[in-house]
Amino acid sequence: MEYNQDMKNRLKRIEGQVRGVLRMMEEGKDCRDVITQLTASRSALDRTIGLVVGTNLEQCLREQFESGNGSNEDLIKEAVQLLVKSR
């Protein structure tokens, strides 16, 4: 699978968010503020997982259609399992 720059940029932003949360913890910031930032990081990560799985599914379906091999139903089941596993 090819990972595009948007996916990589999303992960870099998430990395920055998590570093910020760690800094907040080290500075003894209020628990509510830390939880708010952790929740935002988790949400961003969930959206990125969805993007990666969706893009992978799209690429795999296109490849199978072009080659005439495999079952689209199996690919869709696998994508759903990946999404469920990510939660």
Give the number of domains in the chain.
1
pTM attached to this predicted model: 0.75
Which domain covers residue 74, as residue numbers? 5-85
> How do the pLDDT tens digits run along the chain, 87 residues long?
788 999 999 999 999 999 999 999 999 999 999 999 999 999 999 999 888 888 887 777 777 777 877 677 777 787 778 778 776
pLDDT at position 70 is 67
Which CATH number does the domain housing residue 29 bear?
Answer: 1.20.58.1000
CA-based R_g, the chain, Å: 17
Rounded Cα–Cα distance for residues 41 and 50 (Å): 14
Containing 40, the helix (H) or strand (E) segment is helix 31-67
